[in-house]
Amino acid sequence: MTDPDQPDLAALMRMTTGLWVSQTLAAAEELEVFTACAAGDGLTVAGLAKHAGIAERPAEILLTACTALGLLRRRGERWVNTATADRYLVKGRPYYLGDYVGMLRQYAYPGWMRVTDSLRANAPSRVIGEENPDIFAAEKRPRVFWDGLYPLSALTAGALAEAVDLSGVTSLLDVGGGNAAFAIGLCSRYPDLRATVYDLPFVCEHSRERIEGSEVAARIGVHPGDFFAEELPAGHDAILLSMILHDWDEDRGRALIAKCHRALPPGGLLVISELLVDDEKTGPLNAALMSMNMLVGTWGRNYTAAEYHDWLRDAGFAEVTTVPFTAPGANGAVVARR
């Protein structure tokens, strides 16, 4: 007989096997299972074995696991993609997330296997390199990092564009704009908007490639620079910090916000888009776990809206508000006027 006072064990068991889920997805993506399924009429066990160069035993195990995860469904002796896999895990599709999965597998997961080291040392556990401890250095950020983040950023940019009214903005500086997903998304939503991606010189090369392939290329430029080593370029009536501040500790975050204040004209707008931890620091889960990810890989963490409000007011900003929304890379924006 079940004890009615017994705590729920099922939820705890799901936590213990979370690694199994992520690594099954990573393996399936590395073997291009979903792209192969989309190329024809699905895959048989023998078909996957031949495609991936593996034996039929692991092929069958992998197909079964992906089906249980809701990424494949069985049709007779063949397995085909579900709608989720077909939209997000097939190479060449607009919102292909496979590069993001690959980036996590190569870049993030190894550090997670040493997360206790981060907790004990109050320092990143991700292996960066003995010669250069800067995780943002060019040689430490492979192309898969930028390609992997693009669809995640593009989906988040679309949600941000709907949540925060930028109709009165004519010129936006996207600080740390990386792959230009936000500049492209916001300019696509607002036809009178022009944007500049401000990032390290080697990052701007990635930005240019994305910009040139977009329909709004004529309204987006790049400005190479280092936002900690120099002042931000003036001449913009809005600045965006999207998924930037969580990379840094409070002192550096405050310093960057102060630079934004100096760069903006009176009445200028600053938008901070992040996965915000709630003010009570009890969740939500996606923000709390992203903060753990920052612990593993950076000197930052995910902050609360209240913390950002304090930083902004201390820097001289006014009319500080929080706008909640739902997106893969953010759950809200903190918006302030200079």
User: What local confidence, expressed as pLDDT, does residue 135 receive?
Assistant: 55
- Distance, C-alpha 264 to centroid of its chain: 26
CA 289 to chain centre: 13
Q: DSSP string covering 125-166, please? A: -S---SS---TTSGGGS-HHHHHHHHHHHHHHHHHHHHHS--
Q: Of 153, 160, 220, 222, which Cα lies nearest the Cα of 189?
A: 160
Give per-residue pLDDT as tens, 126-149. 755 444 445 555 555 567 777 888
In the chain the domains, ranked by start, together with CATH numbers, are 11-88 (1.10.10.10), 154-337 (3.40.50.150)
CB 204 within 8 A of CB 177: no
The pLDDT, as a whole number, for residue 7 is 86
Give residue-wise pLDDT tens across range 286-330.
Answer: 999 999 999 999 999 999 999 999 999 999 999 999 999 999 999
Catalytic one of 51, 206, 236, 246: 246
Is 246 assigned a catalytic role?
yes
Mean pLDDT in residue range 242-251? 97
Q: How far is CA 275 from the centre of its chain?
A: 10
Per DSSP, the three-state class of 182 is helix
Across the chain, what does the average pLDDT equal? 93
Which tokens belong to 235?
């001449």
Beta carbons of 325 and 331 less than 8 angstroms apart: yes
334-178-115 Cα angle (round to 5): 75
Look-up of token digits 């063949």? 78
